[in-house]
Chains A and B, each alone.
Chain A
Amino acid sequence: MPLTFSVECFYIVFEDEIHQTIVENNLFKPGDRVAIGASGGKDSTVLAYVLSELNHRHKYCLDLFLLSVDEGITGYRDDSLETVKRNEIQYGLPLKIISYKDLYGWTMDDIVKAIGLKNNCTFCGVFRRQALDRGAALLKVDKIVTGHNADDIAETVLLNILRGDIARLSRCTFITTGEDGPIPRCKPFKYTYEKEILDYFSTECIYSPNAYRGFAREFIKDLERMRPRAILDIIKSGSPQQQGCQSKEHKLCKACVLLDGLNRGLPKLGVGRTKGVAGGDSDCEQQAKRPERSRSSLQGKHGNIDF
């Protein structure tokens, strides 16, 4: 039987559930420097608030930072960055903004102009992931937290089934990922339903209507209406309980492959299942028709990254 709460009790229960998730999964240790991936959206705004509250209330002894990525989407990201700047003041958390322009020499506006509205989300997703890593490295943090909630994770499980990506399927339900890398990431909202997240304001990215993810999201919403626990059941189904799934280590960083493709006027390089290898294109006529963008010193040799 679902329980109903007064507003005050809901806040208490909600915060307590997040605290239990943090404690039971040993997400942090005292003294950790933690960067909160802040988009200005509802999930990361609530995450920043709740984490700073719990840090104080339960004495986690964490140093919290807000880390925001500016993809350079006019009319969208500039607005949400204002929200993050307000969060900086409201919650007293230092803010670092890192932009695609600084990192790669391209904004998302430039990328969409170059490649159109197909596969633009692939670029953005990969670049954002690396941008967060770069920003976190600059802040010298021990961990990154993101506001991915139960609906997001359930959707990712479904998408990986639909795409046949068994390697990602085995990883996508982990509450902490990248523990073998320099900066692990964790999702304190893993078991939190989207609807529970306060301050929900729906601001879809203006380039996102073509995102395949929306397809699965609609299905998940219908499912939730029919059987609310289905979202957690999807996450449970996606949790790795099987041996024998093989994940493939990628030899090159995906961001480098994509960026190389952009700079060489080959926007399809690295998109989809093709194994794009920088410099490996045998068709000389397709060499860059555009001049190469100036590269930031943050690009370059950084070894193998399993994404």
Chain B
Amino acid sequence: MAAAAASSCGGAGCGPHCSSSASAAAVEDAAAAAAEKVGRLSLSRECGKCGGGAAAVAVAGGLGLCGECFRANLLGKFKLAVTSNAMVRPTDSVLLAFSGGPASRVALQFIHEMRCKAIESWDVSNSQALPVFGVGVAFVDESVLCSKPRDEIEMAIEDIRSIVSSLSTGVKAMHIVRLEDVFSTESEDGERRLREAVDMIGDDTGREDFLRCLRMLSLQKIAMENGYAKIMLGSCASAIACHVLSATVKGQGYSLPADVQYVDTRWEIPVVLPLRDCLAQELTLLCELDSLKTQQHLDRPSNGINSLVASFIKRLREENPSREHTIVRTAQKLKPFSFNKFSADGYHDFLPSRLRPKFQKVDSDESTFSEILCLMCGSPFSESELQNLESTKHKAQKKIDLYTAHCCQSCYFQILPAGENLNEHFFSLLPKLWTGKMDTISDSHSLLRDQIEEYLLEENDDGN
């Protein structure tokens, strides 16, 4: 009915009962309310970019922007991040991590639009030499740790499915994977191990960070098992600003640069962050303006340091809306690691020359980086952590010593239970994807030790 009314009066409104004018006014009110929530200062009435007379709904770069220009601004940032960092090759299958929140919803929308555009170009191209990249979507179901009723959880997951299936061009696949599956494919065993491991962690922040590490592991597993070349996260500037402060507060200043770059190849499947320059408020506003459905019913409340940092950042944002960008820029000035660039191998065919400096100059035979990474969170080891690892390797009698030495100081403090016996049990619960690597190192260490046993001095040997 509303649609028919709109077409008969052309949308201008033919009276107080005209739903066309009412709905237009409602959209405008919603936009104004949304812009109000964003807390923009000195919002000019008209769009300063297109000059088309449309009402401004948000501010970007000091200019008031109408809805269209605001959208174009965000899409432009996304595309620039993807193209200038060569995040997606034509032959790639990209796995988008979709949480249901506004940031990953916008990432899903934008990558979908880029793919549609690429398909159109391919259709009209004479040669059709280059394929179009594929997109899959992954949702990590953490409802096993959620206290909500089962029917609400299932409805929320169904919502997630419907959001993805509503895209005009289908995705390669939708993967809804339970978090406990990284522990074991047998559901009861996985759930038991996950619950037991989480219960052993005494620190609230440690528990949250442990789950975050498991989430990444789950995404890696999905990507490896299904042939994806990249994982795309919806991490925006606001989330990164929170991470910068959280990492600082947890003593992870050394590894911080690794987590805030566009590209992160330290994982089996590289991770890219195309929304790094967009603020959470902008993405939320876009979802409202474009009626992009989100689903956050399964979000768990945060406690601990991460929550404290988030409320501190919120307070800073109220005082100065561009503070988050400043924080991210500060972290960007720190020197990134070698794995924060793609290796040039495999890219040369598609790479414009202006982008070549962004790539590592490594031979395909060499390992792409030499840093030692934390077993759980993947943080590169600082000098002191490396020294501790080296001295432990020499003295380690038991596998558990090697396991703990391969955890960074932050994970050691806030995740590992206190006490050697508890630690052993904790590591026995962890996913094999983590502990398997340590078993290989430990076995080769034991083998080496056995080989040179007779030449080793005992600790109390006085040389006589």
Contact = CB atoms under 8 A, between A and B. Distances in A.
A233 B251 contact: yes
A237 B326 contact: no
A236 B334 contact: no
B136 interface: no
Interface size class of B (residues with CB under 8 A): 20 to 34
Interface of B: 203, 205, 244-245, 247-254, 256-257, 304-305, 308, 312, 315-316, 319, 323, 326-327, 329-331, 333-335, 382-383, 410, 413
B305 to A, nearest CB: 6
A223 B410 CA distance: 16
Contacts of B253: 236-239, 241
A244 B252 contact: no
B383 A227 contact: no
A245 B248 contact: no
A48 B327 CA distance: 37
28 contacts: A157-B248, A158-B248, A161-B244, A161-B248, A161-B331, A164-B326, A164-B327, A215-B316, A215-B319, A223-B249, A223-B308, A227-B305, A229-B413, A233-B248, A233-B251, A234-B248, A234-B251, A237-B248, A237-B253, A238-B248, A239-B253, A241-B253, A241-B254, A241-B382, A241-B383, A242-B335, A244-B335, A245-B335
B330 A169 contact: yes
A61 B34 CA distance: 67
Given A227-B205, A237-B248, A238-B253, A166 B333 contact: yes
B330 A161 contact: yes
A187 B209 CA distance: 34
Contacts of A169: 330
A162 interface: yes
B335 A243 contact: yes
Given A237-B256, A244-B335, A158 B330 contact: no
Contact of A164 (B205, B308, B330): B330
Q: Closest 7 CB pairs between A and B? A: A237-B253, A233-B251, A244-B335, A166-B333, A237-B248, A164-B330, A164-B326
Given A234-B249, A237-B252, A245 B334 contact: yes
A230 B323 contact: no
A158 to B, nearest CB: 7
Interface-centre pick from A222, A230, A233, A238 (highest chain B CB count, 10 A) = A233
B334 A166 contact: yes
Nearest to A163: B326
B245 A161 contact: yes
Interface of A: 157-158, 160-166, 169, 215, 219, 222-223, 226-227, 229-230, 232-234, 236-239, 241-245
A226 B208 CA distance: 15
B333 A226 contact: no
Interface-centre pick from B203, B312, B327, B410 (highest chain A CB count, 10 A) = B312
B247 A237 contact: yes
A162 B313 CA distance: 10
A254 to B, nearest CB: 21
Contacts of A243: 335
A241 B256 CA distance: 11
A233 B323 CA distance: 23
Contact of B308 (A160, A163, A222): A222
Nearest to A161: B330
A219 B312 CA distance: 7
Given A215-B316, A230-B250, A238-B253, 16 more contacts: A158-B245, A162-B326, A164-B326, A166-B330, A169-B330, A223-B305, A223-B308, A227-B205, A229-B251, A233-B248, A233-B250, A237-B247, A241-B382, A242-B334, A243-B335, A244-B334
A226 B248 contact: no
Nearest to A173: B253
A244 B334 CA distance: 7
A227 B248 CA distance: 13
B204 to A, nearest CB: 8
A232 to B, nearest CB: 8
A165 B331 CA distance: 10
Nearest to A166: B333
Interface-centre pick from A163, A236, A238, A245 (highest chain B CB count, 10 A) = A236
A156 to B, nearest CB: 12
Contacts of B319: 215
Interface-centre pick from B248, B254, B312, B382 (highest chain A CB count, 10 A) = B248
Given A157-B248, A162-B326, A244-B335, A230 B383 contact: no
A166 B329 CA distance: 9
Interface-centre pick from A162, A166, A234 (highest chain B CB count, 10 A) = A162
